[in-house]
Amino acid sequence: MNAIRRVTRAGFSLVELAVVVAIIGVLAAFSLPRFRASVERSKASQAFNYLAAVQVAQERYHTRQSTYAEDLDDLNIKLAMPEYFSVGSISAGSTGDLEDSWTLSLTRSGPSAGYGEYTITFNEEGFDDEDSTIVGHPDINPMQT
């Protein structure tokens, strides 16, 4: 009897590799925008945390001085400046007087994963969604539920 020998081949064919590359490409195309939004949301969260700390410090300052501080240095807090945002200056809020109200905005600087420049504004009541342009980007706004 003649024994027929089977030849086993090692490796993958070009078609198999092309299918795998196509599948990886499709998965990357769907996941990349979500990943970029997630990274931008975490950067925005840092800005929200910074502004929330300023709000708490402003309330402490207001309790002691009966007015809100007009300069961040007056708040006597140690905060690292936000890495991806430029910090505006504190100004009088809705009442036009620092005794009753204040407002502070952070503006996104540098490349923002395609979202462009946006601002996050806080006042004596917290997040100011009327003056914050991040509300136009619900996928990166940490305040969205």
Q: Classify residue 53 by its DSSP letter.
A: H
Q: How far apart are CA 10 and CA 91, in angstroms?
A: 71
* Percent of the chain residues past pLDDT 90, beyond the cut: 63
Q: If residue 47 lies in a helix (H) or strand (E), which one and from where to where?
A: helix 14-65
The residue-averaged pLDDT of 39-43 equals 91
Per-residue pLDDT tens for 100-122? Answer: 999 999 999 877 778 889 999 99
pTM, entire model:
0.79
